[in-house]
Copies of this chain bind each other. A is one copy, B any other.
Amino acid sequence: MSNTYGTLFRITTFGESHGPAVGVVIDGCPAGLEISAEEIQVALDRRRPGQSDITTPRKEEDKVTILSGLFEGKTTGTPIALVVNNKDQHSHDYSHIEHAFRPSHADYTYTAKYGTRDYRGGGRSSARETVARVAAGAVAAKLLKQHGITINGYVSQVGSVKLRKHYSKLDFSKTDSNKVRCPDGAIAARMIGVIEEARNSLDTIGGVVSCVIQGVPAGLGEPVFDKLHAELGKAMLSINAVKGFEYGSGFEGVKLHGSEHNDQFYTDEQGNVKTRTNHSGGIQGGISNGQDIYFNVAFKPVATILQPQQTINDAGQEVTLQGKGRHDPCVLPRAVPIVDAMAALVLADFMLRSRMSKL
């Protein structure tokens, strides 16, 4: 079941980095949603390798094909299968890692779990799997858009360069105006510098994606185990390289007193329920309260580096390994559409689940 996500708006992904294709089956999308391959492609293009000189120079088109679930441009309520063929699946030589376990990769753990692994480019553990998530997320985002919900992820930290502005001061329309996807141009420039430096030293660097979800009505989310932020957390933590998740006041909020942290309710002039502060991050008791939802996602530095590293092989012997090929010096710019996609999938699921709350 580990390849399925969601309760009512459910996706099942498949595919290895160097198999014939990666893809996804969406089950549970309501009938009547207008969606096209072109709209899905837009999301995939934001994730595509080779989009700038601070991402991997691999050239892949990642062109999506819709195999089922649409009729005359609209969803029919049946499963939507989306497939992206892998280009050049045989282009590389992976014999150097056939028996060696790359440090901080999943080579060793897959072998421990399954007794085997597809060693070509990481196989199923490759971030190439997120192609499927981004494709499915585009369908979810279209569903949300119809309900006025928007999702804006952006890079807020690369290495030690951190965007400290409150999100309300940012112009999200500028997120894609630079290659690092930080809506603040000055900070973006410094981030790019850090990435280039890492790339030039044959190294990699980590960072943080922040995300703001707006337009969510009060009442989405489930109490107890499937709290809205618990599912957001799981969804984000399931993305390759993620090490942490916090929402609202997060880890900093633990230093506050209740009297400082509590968000007082008031009614605005239009009669809407609002809170004067939003330490809650738009979620109380696991359920949305109508205020903005915002959260941070920590990404570790990419494990593949183009330097020699000590490790062991599957016979337990020490070996030296050096990354080959074309890799991202920093995953952050391409992580933004993945965070957006997972957030959309979580929200779409809860939107459907909320239909069951009342008689």
Contact = CB atoms under 8 A, between A and B. Distances in A.
A179 interface: no
A14 B159 contact: no
B238 A14 contact: no
B222 A2 contact: yes
For the complex formed by this chain, how many copies does it contain in all?
Answer: 4
A5 B19 CA distance: 25
Given A285-B105, A312-B273, A78 B251 contact: no
Given A357-B113, A358-B31, A1 B7 contact: yes
A174 interface: no
Contacts of A333: none
B103 A262 contact: yes
A109 B285 contact: yes
Contact of A245 (B19, B160, B245, B283): B245
A244 interface: yes
Contacts of A259: 203-204, 305, 307, 309
Contacts of A80: 14
Interface string A295-320: 01011111111010111100011100
A44 to B, nearest CB: 18
A13 B79 contact: yes
Contacts of A129: 224
Interface in A1-52: 1-5, 7-8, 10, 12-16, 19-23, 25, 27-28, 30-33
Given A264-B310, A284-B109, A311-B265, A357 B114 contact: yes
B10 A109 contact: no
A359 B246 contact: no
A5 B225 contact: yes
Q: Which of A21, A77, A116, A233 has the most B CB atoms < 10 Å from its CB? A: A77
Nearest to A317: B267
Contact of A262 (B116, B290, B296, B309): B309
A258 B322 CA distance: 13
Contacts of A284: 104-106, 108-109
A243 B233 contact: no
A215 interface: no
A254 B68 contact: no
Contact of A204 (B7, B255, B258): B258
> Which 8 A/B pairs are nearest by Cβ-Cβ distance?
A106-B285, A244-B246, A2-B222, A206-B254, A204-B258, A109-B287, A234-B234, A112-B218
16 contacts: A1-B28, A4-B27, A14-B68, A15-B68, A16-B68, A31-B358, A77-B113, A78-B118, A78-B123, A112-B290, A113-B218, A125-B285, A204-B258, A205-B256, A249-B300, A355-B355
